[in-house]
Protein backbone atom coordinates (compact mmCIF):
# COMPACT_ATOMS: atom_id res chain seq x y z
CA UNK A 1 0.00 0.00 0.00
CA UNK A 2 1.37 3.42 -0.95
CA UNK A 3 0.46 6.82 0.45
CA UNK A 4 0.73 10.01 -1.57
CA UNK A 5 0.98 13.45 -0.01
CA UNK A 6 -2.03 15.63 -0.90
CA UNK A 7 -3.13 13.25 -3.62
CA UNK A 8 -4.60 10.07 -2.27
CA UNK A 9 -8.20 9.41 -1.51
CA UNK A 10 -10.33 6.60 -0.26
CA UNK A 11 -12.39 4.60 -2.69
CA UNK A 12 -14.48 3.33 0.17
CA UNK A 13 -14.64 5.57 3.22
CA UNK A 14 -17.33 4.64 5.71
CA UNK A 15 -17.88 5.75 9.23
CA UNK A 16 -20.80 5.74 11.65
CA UNK A 17 -20.88 8.32 14.38
CA UNK A 18 -22.35 7.20 17.71
CA UNK A 19 -21.90 9.23 20.88
CA UNK A 20 -18.80 10.91 19.46
CA UNK A 21 -17.11 7.58 18.74
CA UNK A 22 -16.29 6.21 15.33
CA UNK A 23 -18.12 2.89 15.33
CA UNK A 24 -16.93 1.76 11.94
CA UNK A 25 -14.16 3.22 9.87
CA UNK A 26 -12.90 1.37 6.84
CA UNK A 27 -10.51 2.34 4.14
CA UNK A 28 -10.22 -0.48 1.64
CA UNK A 29 -7.86 1.03 -0.86
CA UNK A 30 -6.08 4.18 -1.87
CA UNK A 31 -5.46 5.42 -5.36
CA UNK A 32 -3.08 8.03 -6.61
CA UNK A 33 -5.08 11.02 -7.70
CA UNK A 34 -4.78 14.69 -8.49
CA UNK A 35 -6.79 15.98 -5.53
CA UNK A 36 -6.13 19.65 -5.08
CA UNK A 37 -5.61 21.24 -1.69
CA UNK A 38 -8.98 23.03 -1.92
CA UNK A 39 -10.78 19.75 -2.65
CA UNK A 40 -9.08 18.16 0.33
CA UNK A 41 -10.04 21.07 2.58
CA UNK A 42 -13.67 20.77 1.48
CA UNK A 43 -13.72 17.03 2.24
CA UNK A 44 -12.11 17.57 5.65
CA UNK A 45 -14.69 20.24 6.48
CA UNK A 46 -17.46 17.77 5.61
CA UNK A 47 -16.00 15.14 7.95
CA UNK A 48 -15.63 17.64 10.79
CA UNK A 49 -19.20 18.86 10.35
CA UNK A 50 -20.44 15.26 10.42
CA UNK A 51 -18.49 14.48 13.59
CA UNK A 52 -19.17 17.76 15.40
CA UNK A 53 -22.48 19.30 14.32
CA UNK A 54 -22.58 21.11 17.65
CA UNK A 55 -19.46 22.78 19.00
CA UNK A 56 -19.75 24.30 22.47
CA UNK A 57 -17.23 26.91 23.55
CA UNK A 58 -14.66 24.95 25.61
CA UNK A 59 -14.00 27.67 28.20
CA UNK A 60 -16.74 28.39 30.72
CA UNK A 61 -17.56 32.09 30.96
CA UNK A 62 -20.37 34.51 31.74
CA UNK A 63 -19.61 37.40 29.40
CA UNK A 64 -16.83 38.81 27.23
CA UNK A 65 -14.75 39.89 30.21
CA UNK A 66 -14.76 36.47 31.86
CA UNK A 67 -14.11 34.91 28.44
CA UNK A 68 -11.10 37.18 27.96
CA UNK A 69 -9.69 36.21 31.36
CA UNK A 70 -10.34 32.51 30.73
CA UNK A 71 -8.57 32.59 27.38
CA UNK A 72 -5.62 34.44 28.91
CA UNK A 73 -5.37 31.75 31.58
CA UNK A 74 -5.50 28.97 28.99
CA UNK A 75 -2.02 29.80 27.68
CA UNK A 76 0.05 26.63 28.25
CA UNK A 77 -2.80 25.23 30.32
CA UNK A 78 -5.64 22.84 29.54
CA UNK A 79 -9.20 24.09 29.19
CA UNK A 80 -10.23 21.56 31.82
CA UNK A 81 -7.87 23.07 34.38
CA UNK A 82 -8.93 26.62 33.49
CA UNK A 83 -12.59 25.66 33.99
CA UNK A 84 -11.69 24.37 37.45
CA UNK A 85 -9.95 27.60 38.45
CA UNK A 86 -12.08 30.35 36.92
CA UNK A 87 -15.09 29.72 39.21
CA UNK A 88 -12.79 30.39 42.19
CA UNK A 89 -11.46 33.58 40.63
CA UNK A 90 -14.81 34.86 39.37
CA UNK A 91 -16.46 34.19 42.71
CA UNK A 92 -14.29 37.01 44.03
CA UNK A 93 -14.01 39.15 40.91
CA UNK A 94 -16.02 38.69 37.73
CA UNK A 95 -15.78 42.29 36.54
CA UNK A 96 -12.85 44.65 35.94
CA UNK A 97 -14.21 46.85 38.73
CA UNK A 98 -13.85 44.02 41.23
CA UNK A 99 -10.63 42.66 39.77
CA UNK A 100 -8.68 45.89 40.27
CA UNK A 101 -9.65 45.84 43.94
CA UNK A 102 -7.85 42.53 44.39
CA UNK A 103 -4.17 42.37 45.20
CA UNK A 104 -2.01 40.93 42.40
CA UNK A 105 -0.53 38.40 44.80
CA UNK A 106 -4.01 37.16 45.70
CA UNK A 107 -4.88 36.74 42.04
CA UNK A 108 -1.64 34.83 41.56
CA UNK A 109 -2.44 32.41 44.37
CA UNK A 110 -5.86 31.63 42.92
CA UNK A 111 -4.64 31.04 39.37
CA UNK A 112 -1.38 29.27 40.28
CA UNK A 113 -2.60 25.84 39.06
CA UNK A 114 -2.93 27.32 35.55
CA UNK A 115 0.79 27.98 35.33
CA UNK A 116 2.70 31.18 34.57
CA UNK A 117 0.80 32.76 37.45
CA UNK A 118 3.21 35.68 38.13
CA UNK A 119 2.87 36.96 34.57
CA UNK A 120 -0.80 36.15 34.15
CA UNK A 121 -1.85 37.74 37.44
CA UNK A 122 -0.11 41.00 36.56
CA UNK A 123 -1.68 40.97 33.10
CA UNK A 124 -5.17 40.34 34.49
CA UNK A 125 -4.89 43.18 36.97
CA UNK A 126 -3.37 45.63 34.50
CA UNK A 127 -5.77 44.89 31.63
CA UNK A 128 -8.66 45.36 34.04
CA UNK A 129 -7.31 48.82 34.88
CA UNK A 130 -7.01 49.63 31.17
CA UNK A 131 -10.56 48.47 30.47
CA UNK A 132 -11.81 50.87 33.14
CA UNK A 133 -9.60 53.76 32.07
CA UNK A 134 -9.96 53.51 28.30
CA UNK A 135 -13.01 51.39 27.49
CA UNK A 136 -15.61 52.23 30.16
CA UNK A 137 -15.10 48.84 31.75
CA UNK A 138 -16.05 46.98 28.56
CA UNK A 139 -14.04 44.54 26.47
CA UNK A 140 -13.20 46.33 23.21
CA UNK A 141 -14.59 44.95 19.97
CA UNK A 142 -11.52 45.27 17.79
CA UNK A 143 -8.32 43.33 17.21
CA UNK A 144 -6.22 46.47 17.62
CA UNK A 145 -7.61 47.36 21.04
CA UNK A 146 -7.63 43.78 22.28
CA UNK A 147 -4.04 43.11 21.26
CA UNK A 148 -2.98 46.32 23.01
CA UNK A 149 -4.02 44.79 26.35
CA UNK A 150 -1.37 43.12 28.55
CA UNK A 151 -1.19 39.35 28.08
CA UNK A 152 -3.44 39.43 25.01
CA UNK A 153 -1.88 38.22 21.78
CA UNK A 154 -3.44 37.64 18.38
CA UNK A 155 -4.77 34.20 19.24
CA UNK A 156 -6.47 35.39 22.41
CA UNK A 157 -7.92 38.38 20.57
CA UNK A 158 -9.16 36.06 17.82
CA UNK A 159 -10.95 33.84 20.32
CA UNK A 160 -12.69 36.81 21.93
CA UNK A 161 -13.65 38.31 18.57
CA UNK A 162 -14.93 34.94 17.36
CA UNK A 163 -16.57 33.40 20.41
CA UNK A 164 -17.41 36.60 22.25
CA UNK A 165 -18.49 39.00 19.53
CA UNK A 166 -19.26 36.59 16.71
CA UNK A 167 -16.89 38.18 14.19
CA UNK A 168 -15.23 35.83 11.69
CA UNK A 169 -11.83 34.80 13.00
CA UNK A 170 -9.65 31.71 12.87
CA UNK A 171 -7.72 31.39 16.14
CA UNK A 172 -4.78 29.06 15.58
CA UNK A 173 -3.27 27.36 18.59
CA UNK A 174 -0.62 24.63 18.62
CA UNK A 175 -3.28 21.94 18.10
CA UNK A 176 -4.76 23.52 14.97
CA UNK A 177 -1.24 24.29 13.76
CA UNK A 178 -0.28 20.61 14.18
CA UNK A 179 -3.35 19.25 12.39
CA UNK A 180 -3.12 21.69 9.50
CA UNK A 181 0.41 20.43 8.93
CA UNK A 182 -0.55 16.76 9.22
CA UNK A 183 -3.32 17.28 6.68
CA UNK A 184 -0.92 19.17 4.39
CA UNK A 185 -3.15 22.24 4.42
CA UNK A 186 -0.24 24.39 5.52
CA UNK A 187 3.54 24.27 5.46
CA UNK A 188 3.70 24.33 9.24
CA UNK A 189 6.32 27.09 9.30
CA UNK A 190 4.52 29.06 12.02
CA UNK A 191 1.02 29.76 13.36
CA UNK A 192 0.84 33.05 11.44
CA UNK A 193 1.29 31.25 8.13
CA UNK A 194 -1.07 28.48 9.17
CA UNK A 195 -3.81 31.01 9.92
CA UNK A 196 -3.35 32.62 6.50
CA UNK A 197 -3.44 29.25 4.74
CA UNK A 198 -6.59 28.08 6.54
CA UNK A 199 -8.39 31.36 5.92
CA UNK A 200 -7.68 31.00 2.21
CA UNK A 201 -9.02 27.43 2.12
CA UNK A 202 -12.21 27.78 4.14
CA UNK A 203 -15.14 30.19 3.70
CA UNK A 204 -15.22 33.05 6.19
CA UNK A 205 -18.67 32.08 7.44
CA UNK A 206 -17.27 28.72 8.60
CA UNK A 207 -14.20 29.98 10.45
CA UNK A 208 -15.79 30.31 13.89
CA UNK A 209 -17.24 26.79 13.91
CA UNK A 210 -14.37 25.16 12.09
CA UNK A 211 -11.60 26.17 14.44
CA UNK A 212 -13.54 24.63 17.32
CA UNK A 213 -14.28 21.49 15.32
CA UNK A 214 -10.58 21.05 14.59
CA UNK A 215 -9.75 21.48 18.29
CA UNK A 216 -12.28 18.84 19.34
CA UNK A 217 -11.09 16.50 16.59
CA UNK A 218 -7.47 16.90 17.64
CA UNK A 219 -8.27 16.03 21.22
CA UNK A 220 -10.28 12.96 20.28
CA UNK A 221 -8.52 11.49 17.26
CA UNK A 222 -5.32 13.34 16.44
CA UNK A 223 -3.27 13.95 19.62
CA UNK A 224 0.28 15.24 19.63
CA UNK A 225 1.57 11.99 21.15
CA UNK A 226 0.57 8.42 20.55
CA UNK A 227 -1.11 9.31 17.29
CA UNK A 228 -1.91 6.44 14.91
CA UNK A 229 -2.53 7.96 11.47
CA UNK A 230 -4.06 4.74 10.16
CA UNK A 231 -6.86 4.90 12.73
CA UNK A 232 -7.41 8.64 12.39
CA UNK A 233 -10.56 9.42 10.36
CA UNK A 234 -8.82 12.26 8.52
CA UNK A 235 -5.09 11.48 8.53
CA UNK A 236 -5.71 7.98 7.19
CA UNK A 237 -7.34 9.50 4.12
CA UNK A 238 -5.81 12.95 3.72
CA UNK A 239 -2.63 12.91 5.81
CA UNK A 240 0.71 13.89 4.33
CA UNK A 241 2.83 10.94 3.30
CA UNK A 242 5.50 11.55 5.96
CA UNK A 243 3.00 10.34 8.58
CA UNK A 244 3.23 6.82 7.20
CA UNK A 245 6.99 6.38 6.97
For residue 180, pLDDT over 50 is answered with: yes
pLDDT of residue 189: 85
Please, are residues 237 and 5 in contact by the beta-carbon 8 Å criterion? Answer: no
For residue 43, pLDDT over 70 is answered with: yes
Give the Å distances, CA to CA, from 64 to 2, 111, 121, 122.
49, 19, 18, 19
Concatenate the DSSP letters of all residues of 172-238 into one string.
--HHHHHHHHHTTSS--S-HHHHHHHHHHHS-GGGHHHHHHHHHHHHHHH--SSS--TTTSTTHHHH
d(CA 82, CA 78): 6
Tell me the percentage of the chain whose pLDDT exceeds 90. 80
For the full predicted model, state whether its pTM sits above 0.75. yes
Closest residue by Cα to residue 236 from 16, 58, 21, 26: 26
Alpha helices, DSSP H, located in the chain: 37-51, 64-73, 79-92, 96-99, 104-111, 117-134, 143-147, 154-159, 174-182, 191-201, 207-221, 235-238
pLDDT of residue 161: 98
For residue 27, pLDDT over 90 is answered with: no
Cβ atoms within 10 Å, residue 58 = 19
Q: What's the rounded mean pLDDT across residues 13-40?
A: 49
Of 3.40.50.2000, 1.10.340.30, 3.30.200.20, 1.10.287.70, the CATH number of 64-164 is 1.10.340.30
Q: What's the rounded mean pLDDT across residues 225-229?
A: 92
Tell me the percentage of the chain whose pLDDT exceeds 70. 86
For residue 88, pLDDT over 90 is answered with: yes
Which of 9-18, 89-98, 138-147 comes out lowest in average pLDDT? 9-18
CA 168 distance to own-chain centroid:
14
Report domain extents, the chain: 8-56+171-244, 64-164
d(CA 5, CA 17): 27
**Helix 64-73 crosses helix 79-92 at what angle (to 10 degrees)?**
130
Q: How confident is the model at residue 4 (pLDDT cuts 50, 70, 90)?
A: very low
Please, are residues 232 and 220 in contact by the beta-carbon 8 Å criterion? Answer: no
Q: What's the rounded mean pLDDT across residues 215-234?
A: 93
For residue 22, pLDDT over 60 is answered with: no
Q: What's the rounded mean pLDDT across residues 82-95?
A: 98
Please, are residues 38 and 44 in contact by the beta-carbon 8 Å criterion? Answer: no
State the catalytic residues: 155, 173
For residue 7, pLDDT over 60 is answered with: no
Cα-based angle 103, 139, 197 (whole degrees, multiple of 5): 115
Please, are residues 165 and 64 in contact by the beta-carbon 8 Å criterion? Answer: yes
For residue 93, pLDDT over 90 is answered with: yes
Q: What's the rounded mean pLDDT across residues 185-199?
A: 93
For residue 17, pLDDT over 60 is answered with: no
**CATH code at 8-56+171-244:** 1.10.1670.10
Please, are residues 141 and 131 in contact by the beta-carbon 8 Å criterion? Answer: no
For residue 8, pLDDT over 80 is answered with: no
pLDDT of residue 30: 43
Amino acid sequence: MYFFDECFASQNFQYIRQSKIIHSFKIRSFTHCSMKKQEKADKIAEILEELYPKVPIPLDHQDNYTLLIAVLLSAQCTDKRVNQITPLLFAEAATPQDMVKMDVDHIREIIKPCGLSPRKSKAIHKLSEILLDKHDGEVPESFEDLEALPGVGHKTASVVMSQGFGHPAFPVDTHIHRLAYRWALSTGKNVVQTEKDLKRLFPKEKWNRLHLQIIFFGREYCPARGHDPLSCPICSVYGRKSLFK
